Amino acid sequence: MCDGPIDLDAVRKNIRNRGWHVTAVHGGGDFAYTSGLTSAGLPELLCHGLPARLAYKVFDELRDTMLDDPALLAPSITIRGAVGGIPALSFVEVLDRSDMVVTRALYPRFTALRVVWPDAYGAFPWEERYSMCADHQPLRGI
């Protein structure tokens, strides 16, 4: 995770040693994203609105899932069961990857999935009964 200016050498070292890196961005809409999953042939992950430590935990579990079976996580798939303590997650293809500054610096071409979580009532942002502000989990994808 990152609490200041990005040191790409440190990120590369993290990727070499652990296989991936998580960057957390605070202010103006908190979000976190991965770098390094591309090297394993996997999509990078991006999530808005979760505390950085929870996002890291979710990414860690999802990374393990993708390494076991990459087809389990794809756009429009919803998984149920506690991942990081969250009862359900869905995935949206990320078309605008401009916020993923570190990943873009490392990989000129990569794919990414937005990890989307439901509100307290189990509704996702694209559902009519979603109770949170739309800006909490901005959806700019398919």
Residue pLDDT, tens place only, 26-53: 876 689 999 999 999 999 999 999 988 9
Stated as kind and residue range, the H or E segment containing 57 is: helix 52-68
Whether 85 shows a pLDDT value over 80: the answer reads yes
Question: Model confidence over 86-136: pLDDT tens digits?
Answer: 889 999 999 999 999 999 999 999 999 999 999 999 999 999 999 998 788
Residue 12 is assigned to a structural domain of this protein:
yes
Stated as kind and residue range, the H or E segment containing 47 is: strand 44-48
Residue 31 is assigned to a structural domain of this protein:
yes
Q: Which of 3-12, 22-31, 65-74, 96-105 shows the highest mean pLDDT? A: 96-105
Residue 140 is assigned to a structural domain of this protein:
no
Domain count across the chain: 1
Q: Of residues 54 and 136, which shows the higher confidence score?
A: 54
Question: Which has the closest alpha carbon to 66: 38, 88, 105?
Answer: 38
Residue 3 is assigned to a structural domain of this protein:
no
Residue 46: give the domain boundaries: 8-134
Structure token digits, residue 141: 């994808």
Question: Which has the closest alpha carbon to 100: 90, 109, 89, 91?
Answer: 109
Residue 141 is assigned to a structural domain of this protein:
no
Stated as kind and residue range, the H or E segment containing 112 is: strand 112-116
Would you place residue 1 in the very low, low, confident or very high pLDDT band (cuts 50, 70, 90)? Answer: very low
